[in-house]
Each structure stands twice: as structure tokens, then as C-alpha cells.
Chain A
Amino acid sequence: MEKEKSQKNASREYKTVQSVSGPLIVVSGVKGVSYEELVEVTVSGEEKKRLGKVLDTSDDKAVVQMFAPTEGLKTEDTKVRFTGETAKIGVSKDMLGRIFTGGGAPLDGGGELVPEKYLDIAGAAINPWSREFPNDFIQTGISSIDVMNTLVRGQKLPIFSGAGLPHARLAAQIARQAKVTTGEQFAIVFATMGVTFEEAAYFKKEFEATGALERSVLFLNTAADPVVERIMTPRLALTVAEYLAFEQDMHVLVVLTDMTNYCEALREISSARKEVPGRRGYPGYMYTDLSTIYERAGKVKGKKGTITQIPILTMPDDDKTHPVPDLTGYITEGQFVISRDLNTKGLFPPVDVQGSLSRLWSAGVGEGKTREDHAGVKDQLFASYAIGREARELAVVLGEASLSDSDRAHIAFADAFEKTFISQGEREERTIANSLDIGWNLLKMVPRDSLKRVKSEMVEKYLK
């Protein structure tokens, strides 16, 4: 598609670094440097090339954003090579089972990869006309997700978490258990941005110990790795995911953690560029930038594979209106919210089912996908749980004695719902049928005439 470019611009080398400031370098006296072009920078006496890309190019100078730290860079004796190509990653099916750095270098001691082809990491926008509406179920084995906020193949559904909450364990559990019930090939692409060493090590260990690694590709950028590399990491992961999904017919689940760190890297670069800041210092184009990541999920006409995304982000001070969760929520199709309250009660996974939302759930459930009673039992559990929680609040104000029998039954239901339905332990994998049955079992606790959201035939059939 874009062959003309590489022929047009042969690579050129300059030694005219004018300034270095944070992750940005300015090279003067350049000719014909193209926008977004990949740049290799070598300091004299060093072997290693550092990569960057062109952010702004004019007649005589180019602004380059580095993906590697600028430590040790000099304005003299530094070679800058403009490659004439945009950043690419070599992909192959052998990447499954491998672990890479956030910049794409092997991290597991395995050999260099023999790529089948090189793909542009920026990715192009999918034509909305070529998309197909996501409508197939992914089973995560977690009741609060599968039943209440069903994940659908091709969806992007983030986890909104907070500091000190167990999102990492939840992410690992999803990665371990996720499968498509139709038996096609399933793969995980897992990328970390700016997480701690412990967290990265935890993921590595989890994947290795449980055998999930075989069907996974890991990109690990930790807090110790260069900040600017974080801009690249999710794009590398998604490029590999696109290759596996659209060229190798696999259903791919992409987990990106932690998007808050990604956004902070974006802010750092923006401030280095002296751009006019938007809300809380984040750049005004952050919405657009995030959309070029999240919108790479989807299902496309004529392709067997799909890309589903679970980005994870920590909300500073549990604030949903912070720019990172806020802009994310405007792009993604719903969100899972981790509840500090449930976590304090010692329940796992502490998913706030009411605050969570899967916009595409209805397309993924029902007969032939999950089970005929799914929508009804879900609505009923939501309704009964809401009544129970309301009654619980009322009991605090007015005292339990002033409540009706039905209200008391609903409080008992809400407690049991949290303890046995939402909470299920880290190693427990439930099939969708199993989860639905647990739901029915709990509904026995509330008066039968309060079951208004589910069809009575279903009640007859399933409420034994």
C-alpha cells in the first residue's frame, strides 16, 4: 500500500543535533524528512542504536521523539539516521510463548525471532463499513463478568481499578481462564506499561506456571524502563494481535496494563514539546491518541479472528472523572469497576456489578451462545441486588425492625449474592451454565412474586 515511500526516501544521516530536551531532539539542516519516520540515533563510541520518530518536520529541521532515554546524548558526535520508513515490528506465529521488552526485544533468553513479515506499528483505522458487529461470547469463568457484564469478541472493555486493588490478579485470572466456547484457537497478547518489577514478575510467573504462556505473547515495560518506550508498547502488542487475528485466524484477547502510566508518559512528552495542556496537564489530543489504541479492537467482515481488548487503568483517588478513566470510558464499550468496598470485605474478584457495564452484552448472550435464560436471570439478579442494597441502606437509617419481610429477604439475598456469586476465589473457574445455576439458586431466597424481570416460563424451568 505504501511502497512508494520507502523507494522515495532513501536513508539519510546527519550529525547536526541542535538540541536535546527531555525525550525530544532537534536535528537541523535536514532535507526531505517525512512525518512519523523512524529514526536511529547513535552516540559515538556506543554500539547500541536508539530509536525515535519524527514529530514535526520542516524545510531545515526535524523534531524527533525518542523511544529510548536521552541520557548520554550529545549535540556533537551523535549520528542521526532517518530510515525513510515508519516504525515496524517483525511478526511471526512463533511469537506465541515468548516474552519481549516493551520495545520488542526478546526478554526470555530465547533467540532472535525470524519474522514472517514486518508490520507498521501505528496501524490504520478500520473502516466502520468493514466492521462486523461483535456478537459472540467469551467465557472468562468469572460469574460477575460472564453473567452480569458479558464480554463479547471484538469488544474493548477496560477494568477501572484503584491503587491497592487486586486488578493484577483479576487480569491474570482472566488471561488464564478466558476461552471461546466454540472451540476456535485463542491467544492472549499481554502488555505492561510502567508496572513495578514485582507486578511484571508476578505476571511472568503466573503465565509460566499455569501453562498460559504457550498461547500468549508478553510485552513487559516496567517502571524502570524508559518512559517513552511506553508509547510504543501497546502499539507493538496490538500489531502482533492484528497479525494473529486477521492473518492467522485466531481470537485474540489483548490485556494492556496500566493505561494510566501510558497516559502519564504521553503527558510527559507533551510537556516536553511545550504544548498547550488540556485538563490536568494531559494533552488535548489524548482522546484521539487513546482511540488509536482502543479502536484497534474489533471484528471484521471476511476474517475469522477477532481482537478483544481489556485495558486496565488505576483511577487516581478512585476518581472516575479523572481524565484517564473519563476519556477511556468515552471510547470503550463499557467498563468493569473494581470495588474497594467489596475488596475490604475480603471478596474476590471484587467487581462492582452495578457500576460496571458491558454495552455489547445483549449481542453475546441467549440460546446458542450462552443459555436461553441468561438475559432474564441477569436482569433479575440486578434488580433483586439493587433492592437488597437499597434495603440495606434503609436498615442502617431506620433499623432492621422497621423493614418488611420482603426487604429482609432481599438483604439476605444481597449478602449471599456478594459472598457466593460475585466472590469465587482466584482459582475457581465456572462455566457459564454453572454461573447461571448459582444465580438461580440465590434467587430462591427472595419471594417468588418479586421475580418480575425474568419470564415465568424460565422461573418454572430453572428455579427448582
Chain B
Amino acid sequence: MEKKSQGTIVRVSGPLVTVTGLSAPKMYEVVKIGNAGLMGEIIELTGKIASVQVYEETAGIAPGEPAEGTGRTMSVELGPGLLESVYDGIQRPLSVIEDKSGSCYIARGIEAEGISRTRKWQFKPVVKAGQLVSEGDILGEVDETEAIVHKIMVPPGINGTVKTIADGSYTVTDEIAIITDSEGVDNTVQMLQYWPIRRPRPKKEKIFPEEPLITGMRVIDSFFPVAKGGAAAIPGPFGAGKTVTQQSIAKYCDAQVIVYVGCGERGNEMTEVLTEFPHLVDPNTGLPLMNRTVLIANTSNMPVAAREASVYTAMTIAEYYRDMGYSVALMADSTSRWAEAMREISGRMEEMPGEEGYPAYLSSRTAEFYERAGFVKCLGSDGRTGALTAIGAVSPPGGDLSEPVSQATLRVTKCFWGLDGTLAYRKHFPSINWLNSYTLYMPNIDGYWRKQIAEDFPEMRSSAMSILQEEAKLLEIVKLVGMESLSNEEKLTLHIAKVLREDFLFQNAFDKEDAYTPLAKQYQILKTIISVYEEAKKIVSQDEFEFETLLEVASVKELPDLRKFPVDESDRYESFRGRASEELSALKVSA
């Protein structure tokens, strides 16, 4: 199916190379550029002239050098061995690049397979010869890592009867099954499969997501939850903690597989992820985090075209695990760099620019990307479901959300975690602004909250949020006329809001105990704060009540300790509430 053809380079302008003479060039076909054999992809065709974006540095390439069309479109390799890998934007393992380059710098023209061809995997069949199978059905399983069983599926487009099925130890290119279709044609199946990165993998249907993705971050889980299969955006100026937030979610969220793509970000930051993840333990399984993670690192100084491709590479890998029936989280840091890569290439192609020089197709590409997230019924006859949650960081210039990338993203994501430079300046982390962030997934997960956690969880959330809204208003007044002008109830609101901010929303990502709070515990803390607030409201509204007396009550003083209660002592919250109620009633002025 792959037809090679020879062409000639006629122009080189940065990462954009123009080629003529290819026999039947097609869009997104992979082309090897120049004597060095750099990898590129056709992104525009005008007659016989093909514009190729090149994934490697093009210095030294000259017109007249050959170009070879490979006949296949830009694809990723899918199969056992993806997990624990660290790739560049076009799925070349960074460790292999290091070996082949022979130095710490990335050499050019290196070819590296995404998945090892020599490693053997224990394949356990789950179907028998003679059985009827259709696309997406599971043929067998491989223990890819301790945490994840890799399901080998019938590739899309193949239906028929299993003629042979293997059992034992194989490499990814060994034949593991033959499937005879209705016309009697034999299809050999190997564990290794390809999929073009720009085409969404097929599924039966999308369904309405109803379960939250639990991240252990209180401000996200309790205030602005995202559904499994949803899409969320994290915009914020530099220094506001986008990356720390993304990494925190990658570490602790309850997705089964994590695909993390560092797209045009800092080298040292990727190194931090690379050195840290193998030592971190997944709080949900107790196994090393790396066991469930695929990392894609295309740092800012690596070629810009590969940066453009990196998010698609990541998305395709994420979809592949979703198809097995797993819940997958894709973290993209940062999608702004991806958009900038598009802008750069578009500029070189001399396309008519849209807003701020970005191509006019920016918003449609962004929408296409986030639409690949979802909670789906997978291909296959067993009715399994899988979820792909996409979380994209956005880096708006100057923190100004009116710019095109933020706007294009906000239109298609239903969850917005707005990072706030002022909060970061005050060292309030995670600096997610509780006033302007939002989630549209509340109706979806309302049932889950009530059933799994507590009947009144949604109400606690709205009470807490209205206290914080109220605080913002009151602080304006205080600025103008001072604390004295406030009523006791208003002072109480301010005090409880402070507790909510400093001891619930504030969370230290670098503190082992604090970094992860289970949802049930989040509820308990919230419930306790709100019930103290309700009780205290009755007390402070009494005539002649001195507000300062309230602050002396032991349980009011101890509110900040709530988050420090050990996870397994949840009954302490119940007794805390009881004690608080008693202590507060004691302040009742007897009539």
C-alpha cells in the first residue's frame, strides 16, 4: 500500500520546504527531505508542488536536493510498550535519540521506532479460533505494566472469523491472529498497529459523561469539577502555576492512563517530570506513576513543526487507550505554543492571516482537537465504555483572555480554571480564581455526588461559593469605610470566607499530605465549615453580641486544622461538628 516516489526540493524557508516532482503526492503524506533524510509532512498541494513542514532543523538543506515521498500519512505506532515511554513530538523515543545522536544534543535525520520491535510480550488470547469477531473486539491481553493490561483489539475495518489465534510470547510485529472476512480474505493481525494522527479514532457513539474526574485538588473537585470525558482549559499568565496544576492533576487524578504532552515548554520542566514521575506513587493504585503514563516532550527550542504535531500524537495515543475501555486523561501544556506553531507555519505559507496573525482555521482546529475528548461507547461487541478527558493549558500573552487562542479554547471547553496572577503574587496556590472560574459539568455529575458522597454535597458547594461571592462585595465596602461599619453577620461571612480561602482552597502541591485530598474528605471539611457558619450566624445575630467572643471559641479557632485530619479518621469531622455546635450554643444569651 505504500508507494515511494522521488521529487526535488525547490525552496527552503525555515521549517517549510517546497518540493516538486513527487508522482502522486497526497495531503499529510510523510516526505523525507534532503540528503539528510529529515522527516516532514505535506500540508499543502498546488498542482504538483507540495509544501512540506519539516519536523527537524532545516539548516544546510538546499534546493536541488532530493525529497522522497513515503506514500503513508503521518501516523503513530500503537501497541504494547507505549506506557512508560518518553517521546518527542513525532513519537521518537528520546532515549533512542540520545543513543543515536551520541551527545546531549538532538541530531538530525534520526529514525527511531516508537515501539520496540525486539521486546517480547506475553500474549494471552481471549477469543478462540472459529469465533466471529468485529472491529474493536478484544483478541487478547498483554500485561503492559503492573497497572495496565493492554488489550489487543481487532483493527478498525476488519470483521470476520478468527482463523488462528496465538498464545505465548511475541514481539509486536509477530503475527498473533488471522481473521478471515466474509469474502474469504485472510487478514493478519499483529500487536503493532498504525493510526494517522490527524484522524480521530472511530468509536460507536459518544455518550453523556456523568462521573467526575477526581484530582485530589480541592478547588477543582469541590468547586469546578470536570467530568470524565470532558474538556477543561487552564489559562493563566506566566508564574501563575499552570504547569504545577497540570502536573498535580497528572500525578493524582483517578484516570487510569495519563498522556502528558509538554508542547513548546521549558526543558528543565520536562526534566523535572522525567525525573520525578518514576519515583512517585499513584494514590489510587499504589504503583509507580510511570506505569500508567506516556510522556511527550517537545520543548520550546525543538523544531516548531514537530510541536504542531505533538498534540495530535498525544491525542491519538490517548484515544487508543480509551478504545480499550480505559479512562484516559490527556494533559497538554501548553496549547498556546501549538497555536503559535500553526501561526508560524501559516505565515511561511503566506496564508491570509486572521486575528493577531493566527490562521483563520485556528478556532476550527482547536474545536476539532477538544472534540476528540469524550465519554464513548467503544468499538467492539462487548459494549465497553472509555473516557478521554482533555485538559489544555493556555498561555495568553500578558494574561489577557481576549486573545484568539483563549477565546477559541473557551468556546469548546466546558470547564474553565482561571489562574490569577494576583493570587499567585500573594502566594495563594493553586491560584485558580474562585470568582471567575466555572464548570458546566455540574448537572452531569450532580447524581454522582449525591449518590457516592453525600446527598447535600451540591448544596454545600453553592453555600461556600456564595459566601465567597459575598466576601468580594464586602471587601469593597471595607476598603471604603473600614471594618467597623459591618454588621456581625457580615463580619462572620468575612471570617468564614477567609477560612475557605486559606484552609480549603489553598493547597500545597509540594506537601505530601496536603497535595491530595480524597473527595469524601473534601466534602467533610466543606460540610464542617458551612455548619459552623450556619450555627454561628444564629449566635452573632443576637443583640449586643461582641463579635470578638466568637473568635475565641475553640472550634472556631480550630477550623484551619480541618484539612490536617488524617484521611482514615473521617468520624472526627462528625464529632468536631457536634462539639462546635455545643460550644456555640453556650454563647446563646438566655432570653
Contact = CB atoms under 8 A, between A and B. Distances in A.
Contacts of A131: 104, 267-268, 270-271
B13 A321 contact: no
Interface in A348-376: 354-355, 357, 360, 362
B221 to A, nearest CB: 26
B97 interface: yes
A116 B249 CA distance: 49
Interface in A116-142: 122-134
Interface string B332-344: 0000010010011
Contacts of A32: 62-64
Interface in B52-89: 57-64, 86
Interface residues of B, number: 68
Contacts of B578: none
Given A154-B268, A279-B397, A124 B57 contact: yes
A357 B239 contact: yes
A1 B103 CA distance: 10
Interface in B1-55: 10-14, 18, 35-36
Interface in B89-123: 94-95, 97-98, 101, 103-108
Contacts of A300: 104
B268 A287 contact: no
Contacts of A134: 268
B77 to A, nearest CB: 19
Contact of A276 (B269, B303, B357): B357
A155 B397 CA distance: 23
A125 B343 contact: no
Given A128-B271, A284-B343, A9 B62 contact: yes
Interface residues of A, number: 76
Nearest to A355: B425
Contacts of A58: 10-12, 18, 63
B204 interface: no
B436 interface: no
B239 A329 contact: yes
Contacts of A35: 12-14, 58-62
B74 to A, nearest CB: 21
B426 interface: yes
Contacts of B60: 2, 5, 34-37, 86
Contact of B13 (A55, A132, A277, A287): A55
Interface in A311-349: 320-323, 326-327, 329-335
Nearest to B104: A130
B304 A129 contact: no
B146 interface: no
Interface stretch (B179-187, B293-301, B514-522): B293-301
Contacts of A33: 62-63
Given A285-B344, A301-B104, A295 B301 contact: yes
Contact of A57 (B12, B98, B101, B105): B12
A397 interface: yes
Contacts of A401: none
Contact of A129 (B35, B94, B340): B94
A57 B36 CA distance: 17
Given A298-B268, A382-B427, A128 B397 contact: no
Contacts of B11: 56-59
A291 interface: yes
B238 A333 contact: no
B272 interface: yes
Interface in B276-302: 297, 299-302
B7 to A, nearest CB: 13
Contacts of B400: 321
Given A36-B59, A133-B272, A323-B397, A125 B301 contact: yes
A124 B397 contact: no
A295 B238 contact: no
B64 A133 contact: no
B419 to A, nearest CB: 13
B104 A127 contact: yes
A124 B106 contact: yes
A287 B342 CA distance: 13
A124 B58 CA distance: 12
Nearest to B58: A35
A426 interface: no
Nearest to B102: A1
B383 interface: no
A31 B64 CA distance: 8
A420 interface: no
Contacts of A298: 267-268
B347 interface: yes
A209 interface: no
Interface in A1-30: 1-2, 4-5, 8-9
A304 interface: no
A115 interface: no
For A57, A320, A335, the residue with the greatest tally of chain B CB atoms inside 10 Å of its CB is: A57
B450 interface: no
B98 A326 contact: no
Contact of A128 (B270, B356, B510): B270
Contacts of B399: 321
Contacts of A36: 58-60
A275 B35 contact: no
A100 B16 CA distance: 35
A211 interface: no
A375 B59 CA distance: 46
Given A124-B107, A278-B356, A357-B239, 12 more contacts: A1-B101, A35-B62, A126-B105, A131-B267, A133-B268, A246-B104, A284-B357, A288-B340, A295-B267, A296-B301, A300-B104, A334-B239
11 contacts: A35-B12, A35-B14, A126-B104, A127-B94, A133-B272, A276-B347, A288-B301, A292-B301, A295-B267, A321-B400, A331-B266
Interface of B: 10-14, 18, 35-36, 57-64, 86, 94-95, 97-98, 101, 103-108, 237-239, 262, 264, 266-272, 274-275, 297, 299-304, 337, 340, 343-344, 347, 353, 356-357, 395, 397-400, 425-427, 479, 482, 510
Interface of A: 1-2, 4-5, 8-9, 31-37, 55-59, 86, 122-134, 154-155, 246, 275-279, 284-285, 287-288, 291-292, 295-296, 298, 300-303, 320-323, 326-327, 329-335, 354-355, 357, 360, 362, 382, 386, 397-398, 402
Closest 4 CB pairs of A and B: A321-B398, A291-B300, A129-B94, A36-B59
